[in-house]
Amino acid sequence: MRALLILIVVLVIALIVGDRVAVGMAQNEIGRKIAADYSLPNQPSVDIGGFPFLTQAVDGNYHHIDIRVGDWSGQNLSVHNLDVTLIDVAAPLTDLLNNRTSNLVAATATATAVVPYDTVQGFAPSGVESISNSPDGLRVTGTFPVEGIQVPATIVVTVAPTDEGIEVTPVSVQSAAGGPTMPLAMLRRTLTFTVPLQRLPLGAKLTAIQPGADGLHVTAVAHDVRFSDLP
């Protein structure tokens, strides 16, 4: 009986070790594919969720795969903390282990990232000096022309996803003490601008934007993602 118990323990350990080796190989191959397709300087970290991995691999379906890219540049701008979660991924293990990640298909890909405020400011009209979050909302400060006079002001803006990217629109204005009143309608004509971040990797399209202390926290979603369709 003692020998049987030892044998069972050894087999269990062997299965666990084999499972971890297999998942490591699959994660590395997915990371390699994404790094190559997007010319990333570093291979992203990939985590295939669920245990044991081999039962998912035999079935060829994985509930979720988390990909941590970090910094990413595209569309003439850069973002930080790019993470992608793939849900309900279909991929035979033999494809993963034989460099055939083009056959991967994910039902949903959700990407999150941070667009720094200095990046946002780079697309703002002249006169904008700073962009920051506050309890009142996203604030834009600077000096803006009113009837030929440069007037310092603080403007609260909203951000929203559009087909062209992140649209920034003034919603209220506070002129400097003693300065002339700045018409909101005029500011909307001159200070509405777009940050051209239309998509994140894997074809994920912007769906939500939330201002934070370090920048705009964006969420993008794509459906029926096929790795064979990647650049």
Q: Residue 15's pLDDT is what? A: 38
**Residue 12: is its pLDDT beyond 80?**
no
Q: Residue 1's pLDDT is what? A: 37
pLDDT digits (tens, 9 = 90+) for 124-149: 988 899 999 988 889 999 888 777 77
Overall pTM > 0.85? no
Q: Residue 29's pLDDT is what? A: 67
Residue ranges of domains in the chain: 2-116+200-209+212-229, 124-195
State the average pLDDT over residues 74-97.
Answer: 81
Quote the percentage of the chain above a pLDDT of 90: 30
Q: Residue 215's pLDDT is what? A: 95
Helix, strand, coil shares, percent, the chain, to 5: 30, 45, 25
Q: How many CB atoms lie within 10 A of CB 31?
A: 20
Q: Which residues of 3-26 are buried (b: 16+ CB within 10 A; e: fewer)?
A: eeeeeeeeeeeeeeeebeebbeeb
State the average pLDDT over residues 187-198.
Answer: 88
State the average pLDDT over residues 39-54.
Answer: 69
**Residue 177: is its pLDDT beyond 70?**
no
Q: Residue 69's pLDDT is what? A: 87
Q: Residue 4's pLDDT is what? A: 29
Q: Residue 218's pLDDT is what? A: 96
pLDDT digits (tens, 9 = 90+) for 50-59: 555 555 665 6
Confidence of residue 3 (pLDDT cuts 50, 70, 90): very low
E runs forming strands in 176-215: 193-195, 199-200, 204-211
155 vs 52: CA distance, rounded Å = 53
Instruction: Give the mean pLDDT of the chain.
Output: 77
45 vs 187: CA distance, rounded Å = 44
State the average pLDDT over residues 36-42.
Answer: 69
| Angle, CA 75 vertex, CA 70 and CA 80 arms, to 5° | 20
How far CA 126 is from CA of 57, 122, 211, in Å, comes to 54, 9, 22
When mean pLDDT is compared across 42-51, 77-86, 128-137, the lowest value belongs to 42-51
Element (H, E) at 16: helix 2-37
196 vs 17: CA distance, rounded Å = 46
